[in-house]
Amino acid sequence: MYKQLITNLLFFLSVVSFPCISVAQNSTCDSALIVEEGNYEVANFVGNGAVFQGATAAVWYRFEPITDGVFTVSSCDGGGDTRLVILLLDNCNNVDNLQIINSVEDNCADGKGGNSASTLEVAAIAGVSYVIYWDNGQSEDSFTWQLSFKSVENSGEGATCETAIPITTGVHQVDSLTGIGAAFSDAVSAKWYQFIPAQNNLLAIDACESEVNTRLFVFEEGCEFSQIIGQDDDGCGVNGASLLGDDIIVDSGRVYYIYWDDHWSKSGFNFQLDLADIPSAIEAPVWATNISVYPNPADSRLFIDYDFIKNRNIKMTIYNGLGQAILKENWTTFFNGKVEISLSNYSEGIYFLNLSTNDGQLTRQFVINR
Going along the chain from its start, the domains and CATH numbers come out as 2-150 (2.60.120.380), 161-278 (2.60.120), 281-368 (2.60.40.3080)
- The SS3 of residue 224 is coil
Query: Quick one: pLDDT at residue 228?
Result: 85
Query: Quick one: pLDDT at residue 70?
Result: 92
Q: How far apart are CA 310 and CA 335, in angstroms?
A: 6
Query: Quick one: pLDDT at residue 260?
Result: 96
Q: Are 58 and 45 in contact (CB under 8 A)?
A: yes
Grouped pLDDT means (10 residues each) for the chain, 370 residues: 33 37 70 94 90 91 92 91 88 73 81 70 89 93 94 86 94 89 88 92 92 91 81 86 82 91 90 83 59 86 81 80 77 76 86 77 80
Query: Quick one: pLDDT at residue 148?
Result: 96
**Torsion over CA of 226, 242, 265 and 106, rounded to 10 degrees?**
110
Prediction pTM value: 0.62
End-to-end C-alpha distance for the chain, whole angstroms: 36
Q: Are 338 and 317 in contact (CB under 8 A)?
A: no
Query: Quick one: pLDDT at residue 286?
Result: 66
Q: Are 56 and 166 in contact (CB under 8 A)?
A: no
Q: How far apart are CA 71 and CA 259, in angstroms?
A: 23
